Structure 1
C-alpha cells in the first residue's frame, strides 16, 4: 500500500493551516514595511505634514508618529546634517569653548573684503537684535561698519517702551559714518526713545572731557548705560586701514602712538591692549564714550565684528567688556582659534 495513505489526516490539515498562516504573516509584514516606507516618503521627501500623511494613508496621526519613529529606529530613515552646516556648527562650538562664550554665530563671507564682511556680519547681528526686541527693552549701541549694515537689515517688531542708549559721542560735522548715527537709526526704526552723548566722540583735551562727564546729564547717561538689557557693539583695530583713522576721527600719528603704547584695538573708541585693559594714553583720556569695562555689568553683551585683521581686537574686546556672545565670519573665527584661549571666571 502506498505510504501516503497511512499519514495522519489531522496532521496534514495542521501543516496546511500553518503554511497558510506563515504566508499571511509574511504578506502582512511586507505590507507593513511598505506602509512605513510610504509614510516616511510622504513626510520626509514630499514634505507633507503629519496630519496630511494620516489623511493620505487613512490612519490616525498617532499611527503616523509611531511609523515615523519606527523608520528612524530601524535605520530605514537616517537624519544627516548637511556637511557645510555641520562644519559651521563645529566651528561655532569650538569658538565658544576657546573664548568662553555662551554663544558664537559664524557666518560665511564670499570674500574677505571689508564691505562684504561688514555686510554679512551686520545681517546676522540684525537677525539677532530683531529677535530680541520686546516691550520695555533697553539697548546700548556702539558703531562701526558691521552695525551700520545691521541697521539696514532690521526686522520691524512692535514694542512699547523700547529705549536706545548711544554708547559713544559723535562728530561735529554731518556724516554717514558719524559714530552716533547708528543709535539714531536704531531708535528711528523702532520709533523708540533715544539717549545720546551730545558731545564730540573725542574732545580737544582731558580737562574738557572731565568737565563734561561731571555734568548731571552725562552722569545719568553713564548710569543708564550700566543698566541696559543688551549692549551691541563692534570693535576696530589700530592699523592704518581702521575706519577711525581713515575717516579722520583720529590722526595717523595718533595710531602710531597708540600702537607703540601696546594698543591692539578700540572698543567704544577706548584703546585696549591684548588683555582687554584700557591703556594709559592721552587719546583715552579725552574720549566721550562709555568705558567698555562698564558693560561687564550688562546681562547680555554682544560683539559683532569680522575680518582676520581684527582678530586681536575682537579677543581684546571680549576681555574688556566681558561679552559672552560673538558674531563673526569664518576666516576670523579660524584665526581666533589660533590665539590663546580666553579664561573666564564662572558666572
Structure 2
C-alpha cells in the first residue's frame, strides 16, 4: 500500500470514527430520534442504526444498570416453573402504556436475539410493537449465511407498521437473505388462500418456516389497543365476533382460544400467515409480549406454538402467575 493510499484510508477511518461519536452523542445525550440524527448528519436512517449498533458493540457506548435483581430472578424462575418454560426474561416497565411496554420488552428481545446470532442461523419473524422496538436495539456483528423468514404476509400499502416490515429490517440489518410471503396478510376469501399456498414458492416458504432455528413472535389481544385493530388491518367490530367464537388473542394473525387452539372463524380462513402450530417443532420459539391486558393471549400463544422462551414485563409476569399453569410433556 502506497503512503498516499494509507493516508487516505487513515483519514476515512478517522472520519467514520468521528461520525460514529457524533451519532451516539446526538442520540444518547441530546435525545434526538434516529430520524432527527439522520437529518442532522446528512446520512440515512439505516446508517444511523448501524453506527449506533457499532457504538454498543465496540464499547464506545456502555449502558450500565446498577440493580439488585433478586426479585426479578425470583419472578423469572416462578414464571418458568408455572408455564413450563426453558427461559423467561422479565423486564421492568415504568408504566403500562403501549409505547413503554413495547420499548422495554423489545429491548429485552433485542438482547436475547443478538446473543443468538451466528453463521448459518435461520430466523422466523412475526410482528408487533415489541418486535419493531427490538429492531432498534440489535447489536451488529458480521454474520455469514444467515436467513430470515417472514412468517406472515403484509399490507398492500407501504407503512412502517406493515406486518412484514420487521423481517425486512432484521434481514437488512444483518445483511441476511430474506424470504417473504408476498401476499396480503388477509385476502378476500378462502379459495384465494388455498390457491396461493398451492404455489410452489409458497409451499417452499412454509417448509422453511417450519425448519427455522429460532422463531421470534409477538401476540395480540382483542382490545381496541391491539395493533391488528388499531392499524386498521381488521375492522374493530370484528373483535366482538372473534371474542364470541372463543378467541382470546392472535398469534401470527391466527386467532386462538385460551387453550391455544386456532378457532373456527372466517377471519382465520382468510389469513396468509404460517399457522402457529406449524412452529411446534422449531428448536427455539420465543414469545415477546407484555402488558397485563395481554396475559391470556400470551399464555394462549405459548400453548399454540409450544414456545419455551418468554420475554415480558413484570406486570404481565405477575398476571400470568394468576392464570392456570401449563403442563408440558417432557421434551
**TM superposition score category, shorter chain reference:** 0.7 to 0.9
The answer to whether the aligner puts 1:228 opposite 2:209 as a matched pair is: no
Alignment of 1:273 with 2:253, yes or no, is no
Q: In structure 1, how many angstroms separate the alpha carbons of the residues matched to 2:315 and 2:275?
A: 29
Q: Which residue of 2 aligns with 1:338?
A: 322
Aligned residues: 266
Pick from 127, 151, 154: which aligns with 2:111? Answer: 127
> Secondary structure of the equivalent of 2:100?
helix
Which residue of 238, 246, 252 maps to 1:262? 246
Which one of the candidate residues 265, 270, 281 is aligned to 1:297?
Answer: 281
Residue 284 in 1 paired to residue 284 in 2? no
| Unmatched tracts of structure 1, length 5 or more | 1-81
The one of 221, 229, 233 aligned to 1:249: 233
CA separation in 2, counterparts of 1:136 and 1:305?
A: 27
1:87 aligned onto 2:71:
yes
What are the ranges of 5 or more consecutive residues in structure 2 without an aligned counterpart? 1-65
Per the normalisation by structure 2, the TM-score is 0.79
When the two structures are superposed, what TM-score results if normalisation uses the length of structure 1? 0.76
Inter-partner Cα distance in structure 2 for 1:147 and 1:141: 9
CA distance in 2, matches of 1:240, 1:89: 33
1:214 aligns with 2:198: yes
2:166 counterpart residue number: 182
Greater helix content: 1
Match of 1:31?
Answer: none
Match of 2:305 in 1: 321
After TM superposition, the structure 1 = structure 2 runs for residues 73-222 of structure 1, keeping only pairs within 5 Å, are: 84-222=68-206
> Secondary structure in 2 aligned to 1:88?
helix
CA distance in 1, matches of 2:176, 2:226: 31
Greater Cα shift, 268-277 or 251-260: 251-260
Match of 1:22 in 2: none
* Greater Rg over alpha carbons, structure: 1
Residue 309 of structure 1 aligns with which residue? 293
Q: Label 1:83 to 1:246 Cα distance change in 2 as closer, same or farther (>3 A).
A: closer
Q: Deviations over 1:226-260 (max 9, x none)?
A: 10000000000011221101111001121111011
Aligned partner of residue 174 in structure 1, secondary structure? coil
CA displacement at 1:84 relative to structure 2: 4.2
SS of the equivalent of 1:259 reads helix
